[in-house]
Amino acid sequence: SSAAAALHIAVNLVRAGAHKRILVSTPEIITGHLNFRDRQTHFIFGDASVAMIVEGLDQGEKRPGRFEVLDTRTWTQMSNNIRTNLGYHTRTAQDDPYQINLEGNLIKQVGNKVFKEVTVAGHKFIVEFLAEHGLAPQGIRRFWLHQANARMNAMILKLAFGHDVDHDRAPMVLERLGNTAGAGAIVALSENHADMKAGDFGLLCAFGAGYSIGGALLRML
């Protein structure tokens, strides 16, 4: 959820008047953390980098086709179910960077626990965040969710809506790019917003290790 967390910080800095314009860049280089003997992780992840510009507008200024950030929110809860004990930079400290004790030192996750716990937390986060603004999930034109697990996203939205939600409402790029960590939801937004109309609401929501969740409620200008 690093991109969503960075967006949260940038938006609040602009609102506070500390900066007029901020570039948020999120490079996600996940493959360097992978143990290619661990089937829970090695075939899932991909690398990507995304960037966003957060800018304060003057009174009456219009930016058709851009998003107004109505609010942002973050949430964390301690969990060791996704973790890495050594980053790939650790290899540079080795006499032979290709020899490292892989087991338990690179990225590790307990997939079934992550699925259950993040599904519950993600659903609660989305419903409560929208309710703070007098909105229900049915009032959101598009959801750009974390691109890690299509089944997880489908379950989160089914709990929120009470029925299955199609890919137009919640687009996926996972099958093409893999899990690109914090970058994935931003890629989904970038590739799936051009058909939105002025006044349409969108919800960006990313889940991550920690656990952590970051969200942004957006409205098309």
C-alpha–C-alpha distance, residues 215 and 45, integer Å: 22
CATH value at residue 145:
3.40.47.10
Quick: pLDDT tens for 10-44.
Answer: 999 999 999 999 999 999 988 878 877 777 777 78
- Sign for the CA dihedral angle at 167, 173, 175, 178 comes to negative
Q: What is the pLDDT of residues 122-145, one digit of tens each?
A: 999 999 999 999 999 999 999 999
CB crowding 42-64: b at 16 or more within 10 Å, else e: eebbbebebebebeeeeeeeeee
> Is 0.85 surpassed by the pTM of this model?
yes
Range of the domain at 158: 2-220
Task: Count up the domains in the chain and report the number.
Answer: 1
Can you give the pLDDT at residue 104? Answer: 65
From edge to edge, which strands make up the β-sheet containing 201-208?
Answer: 67-76, 212-220, 201-208, 142-145
